Amino acid sequence: MEKKKSWKVLLQLFVSTFYISAFTFGGGYVIIPLMKKKFADELHWIDDEEMLNLAAIAQSSPGAVAVNASILVGYRVAGVVGAAISILGTVLPPLIIISVISLFYTAFRTNAIVSAVLKGMQSGVAAVVADVVCNLGGKIVKDRDILSVLVMIVAFVANYILGVNVMLIILACGVIGAVRTLFVHGKKEGAK
């Protein structure tokens, strides 16, 4: 990549992560749908499958999922410099917003208009997440891979209804994936 172009990429990376972070209400997983929309659907820097791989790694690492995911996306797009840029983009919005709020937080907390706007945004966030779940989940169902569909349903029930620890779910699904690969591999070897 030529120098001039890479500056443009870095700038776009910074602006994108800054924007996404400024709108990540509800923390954690909400950033994944937003990143998918931006980096996969809009900019085509990453495909859907890789976005989910990065999300899985972000979830299994210590620290905030949003920060971890931006490090991974930044690294994928422009190496270590990219990672540094996207950390900056992700951390700045909450840093600025909370710094300002902490100066007069009781006034903010009780302001009726602020809470009305935030309440309205909650519905918008829910709609964005629902939209991305339909896209990604629909793709998995369309692949007609019964094990994947089963993993998706069981993981949802385990996490949402039974309240099973997320790390346990990730670990179990990773093991299922590994065992399956070994099994399929073994069968192929046997067929030879």
Contact predicate 76/46, CB 8 Å: yes
Give whole-number Cα distances, 76 to 73, 80, 159, in Å.
5, 9, 29
Quick check: 129 binds another protein (CB under 8 A)?
A: yes
Q: How far is the CB of 161 from another protein (least distance, A)?
A: 9
Quick check: 169 binds another protein (CB under 8 A)?
A: yes
Quick check: 104 binds another protein (CB under 8 A)?
A: no
Please report, as a single letter, which amino acid is at residue 181.
T
Distance CA 90, CA 166 (A): 23
Identify the residue among 95, 104, 107, 186 touching another protein (CB under 8 A).
95
Contact predicate 91/21, CB 8 Å: yes
Which CB, 11 or 141, lies closer to another protein?
Answer: 141
Binding map of another protein across residues 26-65, x = CB under 8 A, - = no contact: xxxxx-xxx--x---xx------x--xxxxxxxxxxxxxx
Identify the residue among 3, 4, 5, 103 touching another protein (CB under 8 A).
103
Q: How far is the CB of 1 from another protein (least distance, A)?
A: 16
Please report, as a single letter, which amino acid is at residue 175.
V
Quick check: 8 binds another protein (CB under 8 A)?
A: no
Q: How far is the CB of 134 from another protein (least distance, A)?
A: 7
Which of 91, 23, 159, 188 shows the shortest CA–CA distance to 35? Answer: 23
